[in-house]
C-alpha cells in the first residue's frame, strides 16, 4: 500500500489525465517515441550502460565517462516507467528487465551501487570518487546517484508491479541507513537528491527509517559534526552547507542542488509537520521569486558554480538558467502549492514550464539546451561551449531530466482534497479525479496558450456538492509574477469572465482561484475566458541590465526577437511605449505559434528560439520614447 503523501492537497496522478491538445500532446508523444529511445541509445553509445555490465563482471574494461553518469541511466529508466504506465509496450518492458538485471549484477553484496568504484576500486582518485566509500561526498555523487535510483525504482514498481528494481533500491537504502545517521556517520551529500528519493521509498513501503534518513541528511547540513562544512568555487554556500537548513533565508550556491533541497524539505515537512522547515522554504521562495527569478522562470545567474547570484543579479546573455534548474523550480513550486493551496506557486510553475524549461528541448526531441540565456549575439557560445542546442553533453543531466519530467507532466494539471477540486493548468484532454469518496470525470477543451478560452465539462459519478477552484493566472490579473520583480507597463481593464451552463457568474476569489461551490451534476459546463493580450513588462530597477528595457508577454509565454525575423539586428531594436503591437497566429511557422508584430519588429515565443540556425536573440529590448 502506498503511504499518504502528507500534503493537504493531492495531485491527480498523471495516469488519470490524458492530453488531446495541439501544444503539449505532440510533445509528450515525441518524448515517448523519440526522446526516450534516443536517451537510451546515447546511454549505450557513451558507455553509461556498459558501466553496469562491467561492474557486474559481464564485460571487461574501464569505467567510461563521469562518476555520476549512473544517475543519467536511472533518470531515463524513471521516464520509461512513466511511459509504460501510460502505454503498454512489451519491447520497452523487456528492455527495462534486461537493464535492471545489469543493475542487480553491478550491486555489491551489501547493497552498495556505484559503478565508478566497483569496476576497479584501485582506479579511483581521492579528489573525485574518493579512495574509500563515502570519503569524498562533497564531490563524488555516491548518494546523488542512488537518489535517482530510488525515484526510478518506485516509478517502475508502480508502473509494472514488478519489485526487481525496487528491491535493488531498498537494499541500497538499507545499507546507507546502516552507515549514516545520529550515532553513526555524520555527513551529507554534496549534491542533494537522495532526500527526494528516500521520501518516495517511504511512501511506497511505509518504512519510517527512510523518512528519518531523509530528514537526517537535511538536518545535518550546516553542522560540522566531525567534518568540515562544504564549499566550492570560493562560495561558502555553494552546496547549501553554510547554515542549518531551517536558518537559511537566501537562495545561494548551485541552483539545482539548492532547489532539490527545498523540494526535499517540502516533502519532509508535509510528512512530519515540521513548521521550521515550512518557514524556511517560505522565506527562500520569497527570496527567489522576489529577487532571483528570470522572467522566463529560469533560475541560476552564474556560470561559475551553476549558481544563484546576489539579489537582483540577473544578467541576460550571461545567464546560466540551466534546464535542470527550471525542472527543479517546477518540482518545488508544485510542492509549495500542495502545502499552501495558493495559485501563486502555479503562476511560477507555469512561467518555468512554458519558457525556462520548454526552451531546453527542441521540437525534434533530440537536441537540448543546457543553459537558457535571455540574449545571444549569435557568435558567443551559450550552451556548454556551443551556439545552439546539442544532442548530448559529457554531463547530460538535462536531456535525461527532460525525458522523465515530460512523461509526468499530466500530473500537474489537477489536484483535490475532500472538499475541493483544483484546476491548475489549462490543457485540452480528459481526467478522472477521485475526491470526497467518488470519481469526477473532467473534459477540458482549450487552445491554450494561443487562446484564452477554456471549457470544462464536469461529470461527477453522482450529483455532489464540492468547490471547483479554477485558477485565475496572475498574468490575467495584471501581475506577471507574484512579486514586484516584474510588472506590466499598462493595466489591462479586461477581467476574466466565468460562466456555468452559459450563465455569467462572479464567484469569490481565494488565493488566486475562482471558487465555484455548488451541487454539481453530470454535464455541467464551466467556461473561463482569460484576456489574452500582448503585454509590455518592466523589471525592478535594481536589476541593472534591464534598466531602460522592456519585454513582451502574451499569456504565460515570454517572447523574444531573433535576427532571422529582424534583419536589421536585435541589439539596437527599440520599442516605444505607444507602438502598436498585434498578435498573429502562424500555423506554418515553427510547429505553429503566435507571433507578435510591431513597427519594425517581429517576436516569437522564447521557447522556440534557435530552431532556424544560430543568430542574435534578445528578450529585453530598449525601451523607446513615446512617438
Distance CA 570, CA 564 (A): 10
> Is residue 510 among the annotated active site residues?
no
> Is residue 430 among the annotated active site residues?
no
Those residues whose C-beta lies under 8 Å from the C-beta of residue 433, and which sit 6 or more positions away, are: 12, 16, 414, 416, 421, 439, 440, 441, 442
Residue 200 corresponds to which cell in the numbers above? 518516495
Q: Which of 151, 220, 306, 350 is catalytic?
A: 306
DSSP 545: G
Helix-strand-coil split of the chain, %, nearest 5: 35, 20, 40
Distance CA 425, CA 86 (A): 20
Distance CA 347, CA 354 (A): 11
Q: Cα dist. 344→294, 339, 490 in Å?
A: 16, 12, 21
Distance CA 160, CA 170 (A): 17
Q: Is 613 exposed, middle or buried (0-12, 13-18, 19+ CB in 10 A)?
A: exposed
Contact 606, 619 (CB under 8 A): yes
Q: For residue 239, report the phi and psi dihedrals to the nearest 5 degrees.
A: -105, 20
Those residues whose C-beta lies under 8 Å from the C-beta of residue 230, and which sit 6 or more positions away, are: 138, 188, 190, 238, 239, 241
Distance CA 95, CA 322 (A): 30
Distance CA 519, CA 527 (A): 17
Those residues whose C-beta lies under 8 Å from the C-beta of residue 162, and which sit 6 or more positions away, are: 97, 156
User: How does DSSP assign 366-414, residue by residue?
Assistant: S-B-S---SEEESSS--BTTBSS-BS--SS-HHHHHHHHHHHHGGGGSE
β 420-423/464-471 pair status? parallel
Which residue in 612, 618, 627, 625 sits closest to 569, CA to CA? 618
Q: For residue 130, report the phi and psi dihedrals to the nearest 5 degrees.
A: 90, 140
Residue 249 corresponds to which cell in the numbers above? 533565508
Residue 41 corresponds to which cell in the numbers above? 541509445
User: How does DSSP assign 93-159, residue by residue?
Assistant: HHHHHHHHHHHHHHS-TTS---HHHHS-TTS--TTTT-SSTTTTTTTS-HHHHHHHHHHHHHHHHHH
Q: At what angle do helices 164-179 and 90-106 cross, to 10 degrees?
A: 30
Q: Which of 43, 397, 539, 560 is catalytic?
A: 397
Give alpha helix (H) positions in 273-367. Answer: 275-291, 323-340, 343-351
Report the catalytic residues.
306, 397
Amino acid at each position: 500500500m502506498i503511504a499518504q503523501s502528507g500534503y493537504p492537497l493531492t495531485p491527480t496522478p498523471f495516469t488519470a489525465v490524458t492530453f488531446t491538445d495541439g501544444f503539449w500532446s505532440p510533445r509528450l508523444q515525441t518524448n515517448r517515441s523519440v526522446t526516450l529511445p534516443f536517451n537510451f541509445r546515447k546511454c549505450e553509445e557513451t558507455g553509461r550502460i556498459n558501466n553496469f555490465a562491467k561492474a557486474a563482471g559481464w564485460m571487461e574494461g574501464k569505467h567510461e565517462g563521469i562518476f555520476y553518469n549512473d544517475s543519467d541511466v536511472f533518470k531515463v529508466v524513471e521516464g520509461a516507467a512513466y511511459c509504460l504506465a501510460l502505454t503498454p509496450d512489451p519491447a520497452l518492458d523487456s528492455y527495462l528487465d534486461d537493464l535492471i538485471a545489469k543493475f542487480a549484477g553491478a550491486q555489491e553484496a551489501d547493497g552498495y551501487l556505484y559503478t565508478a568504484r566497483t569496476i576497479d576500486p584501485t582506479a579511483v582518485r581521492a579528489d573525485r570518487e574518493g579512495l574509500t566509500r563515502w570519503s569524498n561526498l562533497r564531490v563524488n555523487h555516491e548518494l546523488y546517484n542512488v537518489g535517482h535510483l530510488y525515484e526510478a525504482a518506485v516509478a517502475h514498481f508502480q508502473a509494472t508491479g514488478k519489485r526487481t528494481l525496487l528491491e535493488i533500491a531498498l537494499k541500497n537504502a538499507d545499507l546507507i541507513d546502516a552507515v549514516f545517521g545520529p550515532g553513526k556517520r555524520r555527513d551529507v551529500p554534496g549534491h542533494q537528491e537522495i532526500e527526494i528519493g528516500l521520501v518516495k521509498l517511504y511512501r511506497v513501503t511505509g518504512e519510517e527509517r527512510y523518512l528519518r534518513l531523509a530528514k537526517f541528511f537535511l538536518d545535518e547540513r550546516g553542522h560540522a559534526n566531525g567534518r568540515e562544512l562544504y564549499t566550492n568555487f570560493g562560495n561558502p554556500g555553494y552546496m547549501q552547507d553554510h547554515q542549518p537548513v531551517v536558518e537559511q533565508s537566501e537562495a545561494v550556491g548551485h541552483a539545482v542542488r539548492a532547489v532539490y533541497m527545498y523540494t526535499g524539505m517540502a516533502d519532509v515537512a508535509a510528512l512530519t509537520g515540521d513548521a521550521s522547515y515550512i518557514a524556511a522554504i517560505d522565506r527562500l521562495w520569497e527570496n527567489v521569486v522576489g529577487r532571483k527569478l528570470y522572467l522566463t522562470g529560469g533560475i541560476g545567474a552564474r556560470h561559475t558554480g551553476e549558481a544563484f547570484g546576489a539579489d537582483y543579479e540577473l544578467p541576460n546573455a550571461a545567464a546560466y538558467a540551466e534546464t535542470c534548474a527550471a525542472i527543479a523550480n517546477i518540482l518545488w513550486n508544485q510542492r509549495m502549492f500542495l502545502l499552501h493551496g495558493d495559485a501563486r506557486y502555479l503562476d511560477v510553475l507555469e512561467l518555468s514550464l512554458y519558457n525556462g524549461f520548454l526552451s531546453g528541448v527542441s521540437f525534434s526531441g533530440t537536441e537540448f539546451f543546457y543553459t537558457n540565456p535571455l540574449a545571444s549575439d549569435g557568435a558567443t557560445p551559450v550552451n556548454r561551449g556551443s551556439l545552439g542546442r546539442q544532442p548530448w553533453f559529457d554531463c547530460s543531466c538535462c536531456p535525461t531530466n527532460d525525458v522523465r519530467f515530460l512523461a509526468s507532466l499530466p500530473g500537474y494539471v489537477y489536484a483535490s482534497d475532500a472538499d475541493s477540486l483544483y484546476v491548475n493548468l489549462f490543457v485540452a484532454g480528459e481526467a478522472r479525479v477521485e475526491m470526497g469518496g467518488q470519481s469526477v470525470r473532467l473534459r477540458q477543451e482549450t487552445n491554450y496558450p494561443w487562446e484564452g478560452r477554456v471549457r470544462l465539462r464536469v461529470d461527477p459519478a453522482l450529483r455532489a456538492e464540492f468547490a471547483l477552484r479554477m485558477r485565475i493566472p496572475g498574468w490575467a490579473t495584471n501581475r506577471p509574477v507574484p512579486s514586484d520583480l516584474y510588472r506590466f507597463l499598462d493595466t489591462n481593464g479586461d477581467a476574466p469572465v466565468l460562466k456555468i451552463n452559459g450563465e455569467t457568474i462572479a464567484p469569490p476569489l481565494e488565493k488566486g482561484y475562482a471558487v465555484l461551490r455548488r451541487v454539481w451534476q453530470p454535464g455541467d459546463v464551466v467556461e473561463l475566458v482569460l484576456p489574452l493580450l500582448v503585454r509590455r513588462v518592466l523589471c525592478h530597477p535594481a536589476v541593472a541590465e534591464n534598466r531602460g528595457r522592456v519585454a513582451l508577454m502574451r499569456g504565460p509565454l515570454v517572447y523574444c526577437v531573433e535576427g532571422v525575423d529582424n534583419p536589421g539586428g536585435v541589439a539596437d531594436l527599440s520599442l516605444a511605449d505607444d507602438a502598436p503591437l498585434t498578435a498573429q497566429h502562424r500555423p506554418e511557422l515553427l510547429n505553429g505559434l503566435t507571433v507578435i508584430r510591431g513597427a519594425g519588429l517581429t517576436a516569437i515565443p522564447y521557447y522556440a528560439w534557435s530552431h532556424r540556425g544560430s543568430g542574435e536573440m534578445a528578450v529585453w529590448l530598449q525601451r523607446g520614447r513615446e512617438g
